[in-house]
Amino acid sequence: MAAPALTTDIIQKAPKVLLHDHLDGGLRPATVVEIAGEIGYTGLPTNNLDDLREWFIADTPGSDLVRYLEGFAHTTVVMQTAEHLERVASECAVDLARDGVVYAEVRFAPELHMTGGLTLHEIVSAVLIGFAAGAEQARSEGHVIIVRAILSAMRQAHLSEIIAELAVAFRDQGVCGFDIAGPEDGFPPTHHLSAFHLVQRENFHMTVHAGEAFGLASIWEAVQFCDAERLGHGVRIIDDITRVGDHYELGRLANFIRDRRIPLEICPSSNVHTGAATSIASHPIDILRQLRFRVTLNTDNRLMSGISLSSEFAACTQAFGWTLADMEWLTLNAAKSSFFPFDQRLEMINTVIKPGYAELRNLEA
């Protein structure tokens, strides 16, 4: 029996793992409008849902990171109470589960949600309660998902050690790692060494936004000074890879990243929308896949890019001709690279992911 073509329906049904998704970048437009009305926020560019949905998507010619980030001023303002944080987190879990995601690590920066008077602990607690409620609702709909949190510190601020301590404090309650996010240029990861060293001493997990808007130096600092387990984006590692005739030559850093199997949390549509890549078709993700880097496919900000993980797989399939085997390989990469405990990770791979793809392979073309 021939293997099925990687159609939209197959992609939707396939179990998927998501490692790089921002909570404040994935709100439902209706939720933004409703909460804005509740709190009296009048700064939205429009209250029409279709128009607002289109406004958030920064995919017009000439879009860059500055334009891309404009939308977060509107999403974070509606995420300043425990009730609203719980709602947003719950809807996030439900939306991901409906898209076929079986495991997700969703990140957010607690320091961005304090203007309503919540403490950092209250903020994290509210999000974790929301994730649990959303997973339960998804289960009632016939979808099983595990959602865990990564706490991000803003690299242009000075709270990274406090956020690292917060992540460790919630490690047994649903937080699985620490991250730094925000502008790379001018704010290198080495400015936050005390936070990374704290995470290391606590035998905890970390990923670092590096190699998106800035180049190889950011990646080098993240892995060599901060000991990053994963790279958020990391796509600029392509700058250390040279095409020579019919093959590619890797520089020392690229070889190190590949040899050490350091996962790349790649987000193609987001990279296009921020100007880090010119198109999906020209995005280096497929070269990195062919060279067998530990590539994973991710969404980054579903609202701002107007995507789901399924649509991201579909776009890459159209651009690169990916097969079901490629999709399974990328999904297994993500599962193996997750901050899920080893035994639970193996159970997920052997009882959910591999059987799910085996079932799809048995379908008639």
Name the amino acid, one letter, at 71: G
Can you give the CATH number for the domain in which 29 is found?
A: 3.20.20.140
Structural domain for 87, as ranges: 8-351
pLDDT digit string (tens) for the chain, length 365 residues:
556 779 999 999 999 999 999 999 999 999 999 999 999 999 999 999 999 999 998 765 456 666 777 899 999 999 999 999 999 999 999 999 999 999 999 999 999 999 999 999 999 999 999 999 999 999 999 999 999 999 999 999 999 999 999 999 999 999 999 999 988 778 889 999 999 999 999 999 999 999 887 789 999 999 999 999 999 999 999 999 999 999 999 999 999 999 999 999 999 999 999 888 899 999 999 999 999 999 999 999 999 999 999 999 999 999 999 999 999 999 999 999 999 999 999 999 999 999 999 999 988 55
- Is the residue at 363 inside a domain? no
Model pLDDT, residue 231: 98
**Alpha helix positions (H), the chain:** 8-13, 29-39, 49-56, 65-69, 72-77, 82-98, 120-140, 160-169, 193-201, 216-224, 252-259, 268-273, 285-290, 302-305, 309-320, 324-337, 342-348, 354-361
Ramachandran angles phi, psi of 243, nearest 5°: -80, 125
- Is the residue at 362 inside a domain? no
The separation between CA 88 and the C-alpha centre of its own chain, rounded to angstroms, equals: 16
- Is the residue at 22 inside a domain? yes
Model pLDDT, residue 248: 97
Model pLDDT, residue 2: 55
Q: How far is CA 243 from CA 136, 291, 295, in A?
A: 49, 12, 19
**What strands, in cross-sheet order, belong to the sheet with 295-297?**
207-210, 230-233, 264-266, 295-297
- Is the residue at 364 inside a domain? no
Model pLDDT, residue 63: 60
Model pLDDT, residue 66: 67
- Is the residue at 333 inside a domain? yes
Model pLDDT, residue 346: 98
Enumerate the active-site residues: 212
- Is the residue at 196 inside a domain? yes
Structural domains in the chain (count): 1
- Is the residue at 15 inside a domain? yes
- Is the residue at 242 inside a domain? yes
Q: Counting runs of H as helices and runs of E as strands, what totals does the chain give?
A: 18, 10
Instruction: Give the pairing of strands 241-244 and 264-266.
Output: unpaired
